[in-house]
Structure 1
């Protein structure tokens, strides 16, 4: 009997819950799929929405993932210098078939040294900072670079999840999941990205500035730590 395809998603304090729960819902659907949520221990973890989610496994008991997923949220930036979490991510990534992230979860992959020289995306409000961690930032909703699949901000996680399912299973399975959850987006406004005509330019400018001020210092520190780990080529 073939063992299940194991999806393992990192759950951490102040995670953006939709980054986590949207893809996890899709991942749980195909026959032969199992989803675990992992944190340092199994106590409830408070999300950025104010409610808590309970991990199913901890770092010590987590199975090896076939697909490792790192969601985003402001809480991810608290982990860029957390050696316990970074070491766990590196160990899991070494044995995973696919290494993935949604939104700003890409920054944790970057701090772990997994984005150096690789194409990746993240939320528009922090996109430019990916380059500090050695990534090649790409402004697309979902980006595939070999075994690395990254998704843009929050709701891009649904497109990301269908992309992952098509790779892990097949396109027919991904289509069945899309149909089953009636994922047929038709938003009432055209303001979902800075490039869209109804996006507020003032909001875009203000958000870019505040995110840069809030996040860039820790990203630069993570980049400096990473530079000490990465051996020069040649």
Structure 2
């Protein structure tokens, strides 16, 4: 029997979870109970509060990352703008910081489990560092953020990367579930569910097989991000010419206020042979600045962080004496405020 575990977390989006649940239940009716589906959480049976009007859904079990079958992770419902505790990034960040990330990582290592996501569910996994280098899709508002995590954004309704199947915006949960029913149980069962729901699956499922399109002559811009499995962000050498002594040189203690918590980061900035160099140390990990540029009295650079989530951030800072102020930005996330002081 094919088992489906739909994972709930506080703030989940109702349609992301309920639409696939209904599809899988209908498939079970048409397949003589060859499929079972249940709601689970990372911490066991409980009432889970959705992000839509606080509606509660009962989860009947604990997620089992070793059980063969399908594990489906929905997205969140919350504030699209702002960085408050009710914002979608904050909700996803709280879910990411539970046992769920480790469990999904374990499931992805099993050969007989398919992990599926709907809407922001792929962001939840990506922010936990689970989708780096893998093609995936999310809600169109989160595609830049998905790319900032190191995943490869693909503008498709459904993306099939073997043991990872991701869906786009909220209603794509129908398409993800119908596709998985067809893939696992066959097209006749999937067709029966489509007829029952009076709904036809939308779009071509993207897979990394077959001929690649000619990107030089393509008349859509989306394919350039996925041709050759290349990530949407590229970086040059981390050095740039400057013409004057930089007020940014020295060691700095900085704090970055993100939607999911504060980061304490130590920066070390220097110029060698007229070229800017810098490193950032956070949580015992030191990384080099990528593409540092001094322009219009502001220093900008790109940097990868791994805590509290895995992201490529763009920094833009200015200094006044021994004080530094600026922002760090990644995709749809609100710009995070950076403050700091020179310590040497």
Give the TM-score range, shorter chain: 0.7 to 0.9
2:260 & 2:155 partners in 1: Cα distance? 23
Note the C-alpha offset of 1:127. 1.2
Could you tell me which of 164, 185, 192 is aligned with 1:176? 192
Note the C-alpha offset of 1:100. 0.9
1:113 & 1:154 partners in 2: Cα distance? 23
* 1:114-155 deviation digits (Å, cap 9, x = unpaired): 311111000011111111221100111111112211000110
Note the C-alpha offset of 1:10. 0.7
Q: Is the 8 A contact 1:68 1:93 kept in 2?
A: no
1:147 & 1:63 partners in 2: Cα distance? 14
Could you tell me which of 34, 37, 40 is aligned with 2:36? 34
| Match in the other structure for 1:57 | 61
The TM-score, its normalising length taken from structure 1, stands at: 0.74
Q: Is the 8 A contact 2:46 2:60 kept in 1?
A: no
Question: Partner of 2:4: helix, strand, or coil?
Answer: strand
Instruction: Could you tell me which runs of 5 or more consecutive residues in structure 2 were left unpaired when the two chains were aligned.
Output: 77-87, 202-257, 264-303, 311-344
1:217 & 1:134 partners in 2: Cα distance? 19
Note the C-alpha offset of 1:77. 2.9
The TM-score, its normalising length taken from structure 2, stands at: 0.51
1:120 & 1:157 partners in 2: Cα distance? 14
| Match in the other structure for 1:190 | none
Cα RMSD after superposing both structures:
2.7
2:22 & 2:166 partners in 1: Cα distance? 17
Greater RCO (Cα-Cα under 8 Å, separation 6 or more): 1
Give 1:97-136 correspondences, 5 Å limit.
97-136=113-152
2:73 & 2:109 partners in 1: Cα distance? 15
Instruction: Could you tell me which runs of 5 or more consecutive residues in structure 1 were left unpaired when the two chains were aligned.
Output: 186-215, 228-234
Quick check: which one's helix share is greater?
Answer: 1
Note the C-alpha offset of 1:178. 0.8
Note the C-alpha offset of 1:81. 2.7
Note the C-alpha offset of 1:18. 0.4
| Match in the other structure for 2:11 | 14
Note the C-alpha offset of 1:62. 7.3
| Match in the other structure for 2:79 | none
| Match in the other structure for 1:88 | 103
- Count, aligned residues: 193
Give 1:205-224 correspondences, 5 Å limit.
218=260, 224=306
2:151 & 2:65 partners in 1: Cα distance? 28
| Shift in CA distance, 217/136, structure 1 to aligned 2, threshold 3 Å | farther
* 1:173-203 deviation digits (Å, cap 9, x = unpaired): 1111111122259xxxxxxxxxxxxxxxxxx
Quick check: which one's strand share is greater?
Answer: 2
1:169 & 1:113 partners in 2: Cα distance? 31
Larger Rg: 2
Note the C-alpha offset of 1:104. 0.4
* 1:142-171 deviation digits (Å, cap 9, x = unpaired): 111122110001101111111111111112
Question: Partner of 1:28: helix, strand, or coil?
Answer: helix
